Every structure is written in C-alpha cells, then in structure tokens.
C-alpha cells in the first residue's frame, strides 16, 4: 500500500489536519482561499479522499442535507486519522530535506 503523499493529497490532508470534520466543498473553499495559484477541482478532491480513505488516512461518514433545489442528498463528511497525520508529518520532513539539499548545492 502506498504510504507517501502527492502534493494534492498533502494539501487536502492539511485542510483536515485541524481535527474538524469537513466536506469536499469546504476543502475546495479552503484550497481556493489559500491562493496557491492552481485550482484543485471538487472531483479531484473527492477522488483523492476516496483513495486516502482506502489507505486509512481519512474516515468518512454520510450526512443527509437538502440541496439548493430542495431535494435531500447524502454527502461525505471526512476526518483525518492518526495515519493521515503521520503521513503529513512524513511529507513535511521530506519537503524540508529537499529544501536543505537545494540550499546545500546552491539552488535555493
């Protein structure tokens, strides 16, 4: 099973790292507010959350809501797990290693 994170996965888990539950729409809004320069669409966030759920990085539960057109629908509500928090820590450590190496060779 894959234990490392890609950039989008790391960004999504970072949005969840406060320990609060969140929806795809809320994660998308947080990422957009961050103004990173590239948009991550809702479908990509959803698929990444599904993959990370299979890897044990997030848990999900369904919540019934009323859509804008008045119809009831079930949405996923996500929460980071201990394994997800550890994967973020690993991602940060690896990122710092890359930054230190770039500085050491004069690229940073």
Residue for token pair 């550890």: 86
- Beta carbons within 10 angstroms of residue 19's beta carbon: 8
Tokens of residue 51, six digits: 């993959």
- Beta carbons within 10 angstroms of residue 99's beta carbon: 12
**What pTM does this model have?**
0.83
Q: What is the pLDDT of residues 65-106, one digit of tens each?
A: 998 899 999 999 999 999 999 999 999 999 899 888 888 888
Domains detected in the chain: 7-104 (1.10.10.10)
- H or E segment and range at residue 33: helix 24-33
**CA 66/CA 55 separation, integer angstroms:** 30
């Amino acid at each position: 099973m894959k234990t490392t994170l890609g950039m989008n996965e790391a960004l999504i888990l970072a949005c969840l790292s406060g320990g609060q539950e969140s929806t795809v729409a809320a994660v998308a809004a947080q990422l957009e507010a961050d103004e990173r320069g590239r948009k991550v669409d809702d479908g990509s966030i959803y698929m990444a959350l599904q993959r990370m759920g299979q890897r044990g990085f997030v848990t999900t539960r369904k919540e019934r809501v009323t859509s804008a057109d008045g119809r009831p629908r079930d949405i996923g509500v996500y929460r980071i797990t201990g394994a997800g928090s550890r994967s973020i820590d690993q991602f940060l450590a690896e990122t710092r290693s890359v930054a230190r190496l770039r500085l050491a060779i004069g690229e940073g």
